[in-house]
Amino acid sequence: MKKSLLIKNGIVVTASDKYNADIYIEDEKVHTIGKNLNFSADKTINAEGMYLFPGGIDPHTHMELPFMGTYASDTFESGTLAGLYGGTTTIIDFAIQTQGESLKKALDLWHKKADGNAVSDYAFHMGVTDFNKNTQKEIKDICEKDGISSFKVFMAYKGVLMVDDRQIIGLMKEAGKYGAIVISHCENGDLIDELISEAKTKGDLSPRYHYLTHPEIAEAEATGRIIDMAYDGGHPLYIVHLTCEGALNQVREATKRNQKINVETCIQYLLLDESLYESPDFEGSKWVMSPPLRKEKDRVALWNGINQGLLHTVATDHCPFCMDQKKMGLNDFSKIPNGMPGIEHRMELLFSEGVLKNKISLNKFVELTSTNAARIFGMFPKKGTIAPGSDADIVIFDPNINHTISVKTHHHNCDYSAFEGWKVNGKCKTVILRGTPVVEDDQALIGKGFGKYIKRSSHNKEYSKEMELSKIKV
């Protein structure tokens, strides 16, 4: 017997449309969208006055990441469940190679952590920290057999994750053969290393020095450099967690030669700023992440960049560490594990602070939270939209429920909230993943292992055409 669900009287919002309709779901997929549908279904939900958004896709998470001598505190089970409470039905996590080891080894390890544990759907980007003759040979199978069409490089974290430019160029060429995209953490790792050692020599050791040793110029320089490498080879590029005006201007500059760069920012860079690093009693460590929070002028630039079409996704870079873990850097900011929690609040915060404060439209909200990630990373239209044949990943969103974010109520496995006390208007009331209501009125209805691994293709054909156009040099 096929499982079915009927959602009545909702306001369907996609990246391009907004209309009142019913949605009939059968066998995990959207079957029919229309007015006054009278299918008989196993369950009917009345969504009058509610928005129906495509399930969120967070294209940047780090569950259980081994990092800086410890592990990110959310497992695939706890982190994806937290995501579901906040409307994120699919994540793309990073399977990160250990330098000196194979890509396959990292991928196997990430499958071991996620398979049978993740509660939401999940996919992987492959993090390449050591591109050499051996890893080069692994790229084809990873694309064609493992369903991974994005390869990440770090231009920072020297000695652990950082690669040099030669490796980036090699990876771009190899990944390009299989229609895959290179994605990048853009910061000049050498400059940052030098600034950190200067600060330590002077005895400047508090969390604020994390901010001061990761300046805007380090991000802007690396952003411009990798954009040039991509342009030279005619390769597609996705920049993760862009935070500042200087880096955004590098993206803007590239458009003048008709280069299209795909760019992500994160919810924290849109809403928080560097004044938090002044917080007393080591509190500033809660927001130690790379790149760091920036200035007010950067937040303004990012919101404008969204509406200028320069930024395409809003992710979280969800990488939580509890306070005991943060305290590894109590006497030395460079030992504070980098990262913060956020997956549960990305969509509600962006709705409340973006849509309701007239910074972005409802359609833009959908683009940023799901559609663009699905398109860029080869999951569209299975994910990222509400259309017949698509996975029935739907958020029934009540714009009239107000709530306050707190560590007391969140589902992150983290003993603080980076958004403690933020008042949010609008709530994910019911979250549906492949036709099954998975969260309803703050209650999880499913558990461990409900999530499926999503194999991804290279960019869809329409998208490839855009990339072809962006390769034409003037």
Handedness of CA 411, 415, 418, 422 (dihedral sign): positive
Pair of tokens at residue 313: 């996704």
Q: Given the complex with ligand URP, which of 122 and 231 has the nearer CB atom?
A: 122
The 3-state secondary structure of the chain reads: CCCEEEEEEEEEECCCCEEEEEEEEECCEEEEEECCCCCCCCEEEECCCCEEEECEEEEEECCCCEECCEECCCCHHHHHHHHHHCCEEEEEEEEECCCCCCHHHHHHHHHHHHCCCCCCEEEEEEECCCCCHHHHHHHHHHHHCCCCCEEEEECCCCCCCECCHHHHHHHHHHHHHCCCEEEEECCCHHHHHHHHHHHHHHCCCCCHHHHHCCCHHHHHHHHHHHHHHHHHHCCCEEECCCCCHHHHHHHHHHHCCCCCCEEEEEHHHHHCCHHHHHCCCCHHHHHCCCCCCCCHHHHHHHHHHHHCCCCCEEECCECCCCHHHHHHHCCCHHHCCCCECCCCCHHHHHHHHHHCCCCCCHHHHHHHHHHHHHHHCCCCCCCCCCCCCCECCEEEEEEEEEEECCCCCCCCCCCCCCCCCCEEEEEEEEEEECCEEEEECCEECCCCCCCCECCCCCCCHHHHHHHHHHHCCC
Q: Which stretch binds Zn ion (CB under 5 A): 83-91, 178-186, 303-311, 376-384?
A: 178-186
- Whether residue 384 contacts residue 302, with contact meaning beta carbons closer than 8 Å, is answered with no
Annotate each residue in 42-81 with x if it binds ligand URP (CB under 6 A) or - if it does not, as one string.
--------------------x-------------------
- The site partner of 368 among ligand URP, Zn ion, none (C-beta below 5 to 8 Å per kind) is none
Contacted by 289, from ligand URP, Zn ion, none: CB < 5 to 8 Å by type: ligand URP
* Alpha carbon separation from 454 to 114, 146, 149, 395 (Å, rounded): 12, 10, 11, 19
Q: Which is nearer to Zn ion, 242 or 379 (CB)?
A: 242
Q: Which does 298 bind (CB under 5 to 8 A by kind): ligand URP, Zn ion, none?
A: none
Contact flag: residue 339 with ligand URP (CB under 6 A): yes
Interface with Zn ion in residues 292-331 (CB under 5 A): 317
Query: Which one, 94 or 380, has the nearer CB to Zn ion?
Result: 94
Nearest-approach distance from CB 143 to ligand URP, in angstroms: 22
Instruction: Output 4 or 75, the one with its CB closest to Zn ion.
Output: 75
Residue 120 or 285: the one with the smaller Cβ distance to ligand URP is: 285
Q: Which is nearer to Zn ion, 265 or 385 (CB)?
A: 265
Shortest Å distance, C-beta 291 to ligand URP: 7
Q: Shortest distance, CB of residue 262 to ligand URP, whole angstroms? A: 16
**Residue 155 binds which entry of ligand URP, Zn ion, none, with Cβ cut-offs from 5 to 8 Å by kind?**
none
Among 30, 106, 244, 319, binds ligand URP (CB under 6 A): 319
Sites for Zn ion among residues 81-100 (CB under 5 A)? none
Nearer to Zn ion, 10 or 292 (CB): 292
185 binds Zn ion (CB under 5 A): yes
What span, in angstroms and rounded, lies between the C-alpha atoms of 385 and 392?
9
Q: How far is CA 232 from CA 49, 162, 449, in A?
A: 50, 21, 43
In the complex, residue closest to Zn ion by CB: 185
Among 42-50, 185-193, 302-310, 462-470, the segment contacting Zn ion (CB under 5 A): 185-193
Nearer to Zn ion by Cβ, of 13 and 263: the residue is: 263
Q: Draw the binding track, 143-182, toward ligand URP (x: CB under 6 A; -: no contact).
A: ----------------------------------------
- Least distance between Zn ion and beta carbon 12 (Å): 32
Structure tokens at 230: 């991509």
Q: Which amino acid is at 231?
A: Y
- From residue 95 to residue 134, the character string flagging contacts with ligand URP as x (rule: CB under 6 A) and all else as - is ----------------------------------------
Residues 212-241 that bind ligand URP (CB under 6 A): none
68 or 254: whose CB is closer to ligand URP? 68
Which residues, 6 or more positions from 432, have their beta carbon under 8 angstroms from its beta carbon?
Answer: 5, 7, 25, 55, 89, 392, 393, 394, 395, 396, 438
Of 135, 250, 313, 338, the one binding ligand URP (CB under 6 A) is 338
- The listed partner (ligand URP, Zn ion, none) that binds 339, CB under 5 to 8 Å by sort, is ligand URP
317 near ligand URP, judged by CB under 6 A:
yes
Nearest distance from C-beta of residue 292 to ligand URP, angstroms: 8
For residue 229, the minimal CB distance to ligand URP (Å) is: 19
Query: How many residues sit in the footprint of ligand URP (CB under 6 A)?
Result: 8
Binding site residues, ligand URP, CB under 6 A: 62, 185, 289-290, 317, 319, 338-339
Interface positions with Zn ion (CB under 5 A): 185, 317
